[in-house]
Amino acid sequence: MLPTVTPPGLHEFTAGVIARYARPGARVVDLGCGPGAMSERAEPLHVDIVAVDRNSAVYKGKHPFVALDFDGPSFADALGIGAFNLVLAVEVIEHVESPIGFLRNVARLLAKNGVAVITTPNVDSLPARLKFLLAGRLRMMDERSDPTHISPIFADLLIRQFLPRVGLRVKEHFLFPPNGHQLTRKPIALALRLASRVFRAEVIAGDHHVLVLEAGE
């Protein structure tokens, strides 16, 4: 299995979501593929995969590879408009300069009835809210995090503002890990899990969003 820099279990969880939508022969594009771990996980689904990343030097997989800058306003043109049944972007959108521009390109890549599976750090979580309250810093977006994390994605703004602008909507929304936090020390994570039951907002649990997007009406 190729290496991944994502938190333990996130790839496996996301691969389970992808398997629900990947049909044999489907065209799949893996945006921000890195070494190619997610493409490798999708291979047993008998799909046609194109791997895409900015840096070709990091790619270790065997599928066709395209080097692209996701900050380009029209990077979808180089891959094919309406060419893919499934678009993957695992822990990518928080790295781009314009999340709306990125999502607009994702929408352009989708074939009719296609879906996109996108994951990103959950900056709405209870641990993230507490860190911002106490330290004025965003969890997984601060000086201790990946320095290329530059665009926090807030669920409310994403669903209410970003997606309608680009013609997408949420088909399914998962949180990983479900009802918990693995990036927080266990005693604190347990206390936060119990505390989260007091609040109605579902997004306060889980370290990552896993979103299935489809074309809007």
Rg over alpha carbons for the chain, rounded to the nearest Å, is 17
Q: What is the pLDDT of residue 205?
A: 81
Phi, then psi, of 45 in degrees rounded to 5: -80, 0
Q: What is the pLDDT of residue 71?
A: 97
Q: What is the pLDDT of residue 69?
A: 96
The tens digit of pLDDT for each residue in 43-66 reads 899 999 999 999 899 999 999 999
**CA 19 to each of CA 3, 104, 145: distance values in angstroms, whole numbers, following the listed order:** 20, 24, 30
User: Does 112 have pLDDT greater than 70?
Assistant: yes
For CA atoms 13, 34, 90, 208, give the dihedral sign: positive
Cβ(149)–Cβ(141) below 8 Å: yes
User: Does 98 have pLDDT greater than 80?
Assistant: yes
146 is a domain residue = yes
Q: Which residues of 177-199 are buried (b: 16+ CB within 10 A; e: fewer)?
A: beebbebbeeeebeebbeebeee
1 is a domain residue = no
Q: Which amino acid, residue 39?
A: S
174 is a domain residue = yes
CA distance 68 to 30: 12
26 is a domain residue = yes
CA distance 29 to 106: 10
- For residue 90, the domain's CATH number is 3.40.50.150
Which pLDDT band holds residue 190 (cuts at 50, 70, 90)? low
Q: What is the pLDDT of residue 187?
A: 56
**Token pair of 166 as six digits:** 């680009």
The tens digit of pLDDT for each residue in 127-179 reads 888 889 889 999 889 998 889 999 999 999 999 999 999 999 999 999 998 86
User: Does 191 have pLDDT greater than 60?
Assistant: no
Range of the domain at 28: 10-215
3 is a domain residue = no
155 is a domain residue = yes
**Token pair of 74 as six digits:** 């029209």
State the average pLDDT over residues 190-199. 59
Query: How many structural domains is the chain composed of?
Result: 1
Q: What is the pLDDT of residue 201?
A: 59
137 is a domain residue = yes
87 is a domain residue = yes
